[in-house]
Amino acid sequence: MLADSGVEHYRGSFKNRAMFTPLIVSGATLAISAHGTADMRPAAHRVRDVTYALAAVTGLVGTGFHFYNVGRKLGGFSWQNLFYGAPLGAPMAILLSGLIGFSSERLRESQPDEQQGPEIFDLPAGRMLAAVISVGLLGTTAEAALLHFRGAYHNPAMYLPVTLPPIGALLMAQVCVGTRTRHVAARNWMWLLVAMGFAGSGFHAYGISRNMGGFANWSQNILAGPPLPAPPSFSGLALAGLACIDLVREHPDA
C-alpha cells in the first residue's frame, strides 16, 4: 500500500498536499505493525490503536477525495474518467489495514476461555474478521475488474484476479457463518490467493518490460505501465483470512 500510493500519487505530481497523507499514514502503520509483532505483551497499545484508527479514517477520507476527483472531471462518472481518474477503491485498502490492525489489538487484550474463544466487541473474533476479509476481497476484485477491463483483458491471466477472489470471498463468508468444519477448501483457496497476488506482480513487471525501453526506461514505464505493487493486496487479505480460519478452527463453537 505504501509503495502503491507512492507511485500513483507521484504520477499525479502530488498536486494536492493531501496526497502525501496516505504515504505518511501507511508508513506509520507499517512501523507500528512491526512494533506490535515484536511486542510480546498480551495487551493492546494505545499508540498502535490510534495509528490503526487513523489509517481507517484516512481510507474513508481518501475514498471521498477520489470520488470527488472523478466526479469533477468533464463527463463526471463516465467510463473514461473511471479508467483514468483517481482509482475509487484504492484508499479502501488503507481502511482494511486499519481495521485488521485494530482487530489484532483487540485480540491481544482478549482473555478467551475454553468455550467462548477470543472476541472483538463481544463478537467471535474469527468469524467477525472472516466477514471483513470476505467484503475486502470483493472490493479489491471490483477495483481489479475495472482496471483490467481498461486493459481489454488482452492477457487471459487478467481474468484470474476477477474470478478467483470472489470464490475466496464466498468461502470466507462460509467460515463466518458455518458450523463445525475444518474449512479445508477455504484454507487451500487462501493459499492460492496468496500465490496469485505475488504472481500478479510478476505479470505486471512483464507488462512494464513490454513498454518502449522496458526497465531501462523505468522512471517512465513504472508510472505508465500496470501498477507493480497492487496485486499483493490480494496476498495480504488472504494471509489475514488464514489467520481467521485458524481462530475459527481453534474455537469452532464461538
DSSP-derived secondary structure letter, 91: T
Instruction: Report yes or no: 137 and 234 within 8 Å, Cβ to Cβ.
Output: yes
pLDDT per residue over 112-133, tens digit each?
555 567 778 778 888 889 999 9
Residue 11 has pLDDT above 90, yes or no: no
How far apart are alpha carbons 199 and 195 in whole angstroms? 6
- What is the rounded average pLDDT of the residues 32-49? 91
Q: Are 89 and 143 in contact (CB under 8 A)?
A: yes
* 3 state SS for 167-214: HHHHHHHHHHHCCCCCCHHHHHHHHHHHHHHHHHHHHHHHHHHCCCCH
What integer pLDDT is reported at residue 177 of this predicted model?
Answer: 87
Give pTM, 2 decimals.
0.88
Read off the pLDDT of residues 225-248 as tens digits, 9 standing for 90 and up: 899 999 999 999 999 999 999 888
Q: Rounded to whole angstroms, how far apart are CA atoms 193 and 137?
A: 10
Q: With 80 as the cut, is the pLDDT of residue 254 above it? A: no
The pLDDT of residue 43 = 85
The band of 178, judged by pLDDT with boundaries at 50, 70 and 90, is confident
